[in-house]
Amino acid sequence: MYCDRCGVANRSEARFCRSCGAELHPVVGISGAGDRDGSPADAHREPNDNVPSAVRAALSDDFEVLDLIGRGGMGSVYRATERSLDRPVAIKVLPEEVSKNPVRIRRFLREARLAARLRHPNIVSIHAVGERGGLHFFTMDLIEGESLVAHVTRIQASGQQSPGRARSLIERVVDAVRFAHGEGVIHRDLKPSNIMVDRDNSPIVLDFGLATAKETSNLTVEGAVLGTPKYMSPEQVKGEASSPAGDVYALGLIYYFVMTGDDLVRGKSTGEIAAQHLEADFRPRVDRDSRVPALDAQLILRMIDRSPERRPSLAQVLAELRQIDKAPDQFDDTISMADPDRGDLEAPETSAPRARARDRMKRLIDQLDRDRRDGGEGS
């Protein structure tokens, strides 16, 4: 299990990180990248005693339940072997203490049904939904890998991180969420710990526990604040209705995290974090962050615009990410070129190559603006 704060690997049963002391929150549906000696994790390992006997007994006809791999507000997730197909799976089980609550059961089943309609290579696949001995559960892919937090931390520590590599990862996450939006599903709880990276370095979006769709919107309590504070949109903070634009905002913050390894929104309390979403000007920090190239910084800032109406659609985000990939090489100092007309740029005697680079960057930015105006809002 990896720490969300520092990315260090911990024992599966640990409650606090051995490195930084942060409370650990296992990622739902994820198996660790491997054992401590670096060998691949074994989905067919011996059963662990952290599985309640009631769960093991209720599911024993169909599954050999091996161990607990995650716990969240909507249930616990276990590693198991599906007997009939002899394949590893993850099983999410609604907690027994709330399994007789009709509203919780409806929400639990809604998560399974919403996620099951989403067949995309970067979204975890749901296999089946069932009820045994009073336990409600659904099965899904058991994905061997690491959390996005651990992945970014490890890549940066190894010196292998680059804007292109980060952009490739975020492109696939954006495409997955864009697909979900096309199917009428809004995630509402996108954050680095709800994304994992498998052994092929492919990101997988997980945990649709707070997802919503038009036909199930009556399950959302009006005015309720749902989500994770650091990655909530301003409208979520205010308890307003969810929309695809809220996912765009969260993805903008994830984009910055993948580029830098840092959270853009920081605070010592939920109130302090909420205030940043509602009032902070993130432009100076993003513009002047040398780890974020200029074109990426501009797109991030548009995605986290405080006004949902001014944020781009994910179809636009995806198109612009691909255009940025085709842009000429950006120098280490290109973040200072985010606005070529700004007064704090270098003096006119700057070398001719640098001046030509600025001109080329300005033309690219102008072309992006023209393409957005010509292409409309997209879907």
Active site residues: 189
Phi, psi angle pair for 90, to nearest 5°: -105, 140
Q: Nearest to residue 206, comparing CAs of 171, 173, 254?
A: 173
CB atoms closer than 10 angstroms to residue 289: 18
Contacts by 79-85, CB closer than 8 A, 24 or more apart: 79/31, 79/43, 79/45, 79/142, 80/139, 80/142, 81/43, 81/44, 82/139
Residue 359 CB: number of other CB atoms within 10 A?
Answer: 11
- CA 233, CA 248: separation in Å to the nearest integer? 9
d(CA 5, CA 80): 28
CB atoms within 10 A of CB 53: 8
> In this structure, which amino acid lies at residue 2?
Y
How do beta strands 87-93 and 135-141 pair? antiparallel
| Residues in the chain, total | 379
User: The tokens of 295 are what?
Assistant: 């074109």
In angstroms, rounded to a whole number, what is the distance separating the alpha carbons of residues 136 and 75?
10
- Are 282 and 301 contacting, i.e. CB atoms less than 8 angstroms apart? yes
d(CA 344, CA 283): 15
Look up residue 138 and give its two tokens: 């659904």
149 vs 169: CA distance, rounded Å? 13
d(CA 189, CA 206): 10
Give φ, ψ of 307 to 5 degrees. -90, 120
